[in-house]
Structure 1
Amino acid sequence: MADAQTATMEGRVEAGGFKTRGVGGFRLALRFALREMRGGLSGFFIFLACIALGVAAIGGVNSVASAIQSAVNEQGQELLGADIRFELNQRTATDEEAQWLNSLGEVAESANMRSMARLVDASDQALVEAKAVDASYPLYGVLETEPALSHEALFGLHGDVHGAAVAPLLLDRLGLELGDQLLLGNQTFELRATITNEPDAVSDGFGFAPRMLISLEGLEAAGLVQPGSLVEHTYKIRLDGNVSDTDLRALREEASRQFPEAGWSVRTRENAAPSLASNVERFSQFLTLVGLTALVVGGVGVANAVRAYLDGKRTVIATFKSLGASAGFVVSVYLIQIMIIALIGIAIGLVLAALMPFAASAALANVLPVPSEAGLYPLALGLAAVFGVLTTLAFALLPLGRARDVPATALFREMGIATGRWPRLSYLVTSAGLAALLAVLAIAYAEDKRVAMVFVGGMVAAFLILRLVASAVQWLARRAPRIRSTALRLAVGNIHRPGALTPSVVLALGLGLTLLATLAMIDGNLRRQISGNLPEIAPNFFFVDIQSHEVDQFTQIVEDEAPEGKLIKVPMLRGRITALNGVDVREITPPAEGGWVLRGDRGLTYAINQPENSSLSEGEWWPADYQGEPLVSFTEEEGKELGLELGDTITVNVLGRSVTARIASFRQVEWETLAMNFVMVFSPNTFAGAPHAWLATLTDENATSQGEASLLNAVTRNLPTVTTVRVKDALDVVNSLVSQLATAIRAAAAVALIASVLVLSGALAAGNRARVHDAVVLKTLGATRRVLISAFAMEYMLLGLATAVFALLAGTAAAWFVVSQIMTLPWEFLPDVAVLTIVLALVMTVGFGLIGTWRVLGHKAAPILRNL
Structure 2
Amino acid sequence: MPFGRTFKLALRFSLREMRGGFSGFFIFLTCIALGVAAIGGVNSVARAITAGVANEGQVLLGADIRFELNQREVTAPERVFLDGLGAVAESASMRSMARLENGSDQTLAEVKAVDPAYPLYGALQTEPQLDLAELFDAKAGVYGAAAPDLLFERLGLKLGDRVKVGTTTFELRARLVTEPDAVSDGFGFAPRLLLSMEGLRASGLIQPGSLVEFAYKIRLPAGSSEADLATIRERATAEFPQAGWSIRTRSNAAPALSSNIERFSQFLTLVGLTALVVGGVGVANAVRAYLDGKRSVIATFKSLGASGGFVFTVYLVQILLIAGIGIVAGLVLGALMPFAASAALRSLIPVPAETGIYPGALGSAALFGLLVTLAFALLPLGRARDVPATALFREMGFEGRGLPHLAYVLTALGIAAVLAALAIMFSGDRRIASIFVGATVFSFIVLRSVGWLVQWVARKSPRVRSTALRLAIGNIHRPGALTPSVVLSLGLGLTLLVTLALIDGNLRRQIAGSLPERAPNFFFVDIQSTEVENFTRLVENEAPGGKLMRVPMLRGRVVALNGVNVQKMTVPAEGAWVLRGDRGITYSDTIPENATLSEGAWWPKDYSGEPLVSFSAEEAKAIGLKIGDTVTVNVLGRDITARIASFRQVEWESMGINFVMVFSPNAFAGAPHSWLATLSLDNATAADESRILNAVTRAFPAVTTVRVKDALDVVNRLVGQLGTAVRAAASVALIASVLVLSGALAAGNRARIHDAVVLKTLGATRKTLISAFSLEYMLIGLATAIFALLAGGVAAWFVVARIMMLPSHFLPEVALGTIVFALVLTVGFGLAGTWRVLGHKAAPVLRNL
Same fold by TM (over 0.5)?
yes
Cα offsets for 1:772-807 (capped at 9, x unmatched) = 011111111111111111110100000000000110
In the alignment, what sits opposite 1:818?
799
Q: How does 1:342-741 map to 2 (within 5 A)?
A: 342-741=323-722
Does the CA contact (< 8 Å) of 1:606 and 1:682 recur in 2? Answer: yes
8 Å contact from structure 1 (residues 261, 653) kept in 2: yes
* Structure 2 residue 231 is the aligned partner of structure 1 residue 250: yes
- Using the alignment, how far apart are the partners of 2:731 and 2:188 within structure 1? 31
Deviating more after overlay: 246-255 vs 304-313: 246-255
Match of 2:108 among 123, 127, 135: 127
Distance 1:400 1:246 in 2: 57
Quote how far apart the aligned CAs of 1:722 are. 0.4
Cα distance between partner residues in 2 of 1:104 and 1:23: 68
Tell whether 2:177 aligns with 1:196: yes
Contact 1:314 1:416 in 2 (8 A): no
Identity of aligned residues (%): 72
Give 2:71's aligned residue.
90
1:779 equivalent to 2:763? Answer no
1:150-169 matched pairs, under 5 angstroms: 150-169=131-150
Specify the code of the residue in structure 2 equivalent to 1:449: R
Q: Does structure 2 conserve the Cα–Cα contact (< 8 Å) formed by 1:60 and 1:353?
A: yes
Contact 1:402-1:418 at 8 Å conserved across structures: no
Cα deviation code 1:129-176 (max 9, x no counterpart) = 000000110000000000000000000110110000001100000000
Aligned letter for 2:489?
Answer: A
CA deviation map 1:479-504 (0-9, x unaligned): 11111111110000000000000000
Counterpart in 2 of 1:306?
287
Amino acid in structure 2 at the alignment position of 1:356: M
CA separation in 1, counterparts of 2:235 and 2:286? 63
Q: Which stretches in structure 2 are left out of the alignment for 5+ residues?
A: none
1:67 paired residue number: 48
Q: Distance in 1 between matches of 2:487 and 2:238?
A: 63
How far apart, CA to CA, are the structure 1 residues paired with 2:561 and 2:181?
A: 32
Counterparts of 1:782 and 1:866, CA distance in 2: 19
1:198-217 maps to which residues of 2 (within 5 A)? 198-217=179-198
CA–CA distance in structure 2, aligned partners of residues 574 and 593 of structure 1: 21
CA shift digits 1:318-344 (9 cap, x unpaired): 111112221111111111100100010
Given that residues 561 and 707 in structure 1 are in contact (C-alpha distance below 8 angstroms), is that contact kept between their aligned partners in structure 2? Answer: no
Tell me which amino acid in the other structure corresponds to 1:267: R
Distance 2:309 2:246 in 1: 64
Q: What residue in structure 2 maps to residue 14 of structure 1?
A: none
**Letter paired with 2:452:** S
Mean CA deviation greater in 254-263 or 243-252: 243-252
Specify the alignment match of 1:843 in structure 2. Answer: 824
Per-residue deviation, 1:557 = 1.0
How big is the shift at 1:250? 2.0
* Structure 1, 114-123 or 308-317: larger mean CA deviation: 308-317
Secondary structure class of the residue paired with 1:65: helix
The residue aligned with 1:273 is 254
Tell me the secondary structure at the aligned position of residue 86 of structure 1. Answer: strand
How many pairs align? 849
Match of 1:16?
none
- Match of 2:548, as an amino acid? L
The one of 261, 273, 276 aligned to 1:295 = 276
Give yes or no for contact 1:761–1:848 (8 Å, CA) kept in 2: yes
Out of 130, 137, 145, the residue aligned to residue 126 of structure 2 is 145
Kept after mapping to 2: 8 A contact 1:67/1:357: yes
Paired residue type of 1:357: P
1:549 aligned counterpart, secondary structure: coil
Residue 8 of structure 1 is matched in structure 2 by none
Return the alpha-carbon distance in structure 2 between the equivalents of residues 232 and 298 of structure 1: 51
TM-score (norm 1): 0.97
State the TM-score, normalized to the length of structure 2. Answer: 0.99
Q: Answer whether contact 1:311 1:416 (CA < 8 A) is retained.
A: no
2:530 counterpart SS class: helix
Shift of 1:416: 4.2
Distance (Å, rounded) in 2 between the aligned partners of 1:580 and 1:703: 45
CA distance in 1, matches of 2:307, 2:229: 65
Partner of 2:216: 235
Moved >3 Å (runs of 4+): none
How far apart are residue 401 of structure 1 and its match?
1.1
* SS of alignment partner, residue 593 of structure 1: helix
CA contact (8 A) 1:101 1:107 kept: yes
> 2:724 is matched with which residue?
743
State the distance in 1 between where 2:670 and 2:305 align.
95
Return the alpha-carbon distance in structure 1 between the equivalents of residues 683 and 287 of structure 2.
66
| Separation in structure 2 between the aligned mates of residue 227 and residue 281 of structure 1, nearest angstrom | 38
Q: Which residue of 2 aligns with 1:186?
A: 167
Amino acid at match of 1:273: A
| Matching of residues 84-123 of structure 1 within 5 Å | 84-123=65-104
Name the counterpart of 1:852: 833
Q: Which moved more, 1:356-365 or 1:736-745?
A: 356-365
Aligned-pair distance for 1:419?
4.9
Q: Distance in 2 between matches of 1:433 and 1:651?
A: 49
Provide the C-alpha distance between the structure 2 equivalents of 1:701 and 1:804, rounded to a whole number of angstroms: 43
SS of corresponding position for 2:574: coil
Return the match for 1:754 from 692, 717, 735.
735
Deviates more, 1:361-370 or 1:687-696: 361-370
- Asked whether the 8 Å contact 1:123–1:713 carries over to 2, the reply is yes
Return 699-708 or 832-841, whichever deviates more.
Answer: 699-708
One-letter amino acid of the counterpart of residue 865, structure 1? L
1:3 aligns with: none
**From 291, 308, 312, the counterpart of 1:331:** 312
**What is the aligned partner in structure 2 of residue 834 from structure 1?**
815
Post-superposition Cα deviations, 1:714-772, rounded to whole Å, max 9, x if no partner, equal 11111010000000000000000000000001101111110010000000000000000
Deviates more, 1:496-505 or 1:815-824: 815-824
Bigger Cα displacement from structure 2, 297-306 vs 822-831: 822-831
User: Which ranges of structure 1 fall in alignment gaps of 5 or more residues?
Assistant: 1-18
> Which of 22, 46, 49 is the equivalent residue of 2:27?
46
Shift, 1:702, TM fit: 2.3
CA positional deviation for 1:373: 1.7
Q: Post-superposition shift, 1:425? A: 1.2
SS of the residue 1:720 aligns to: coil
Report the equivalent of 2:9. Answer: 28
The one-letter amino acid paired with 1:290 is V
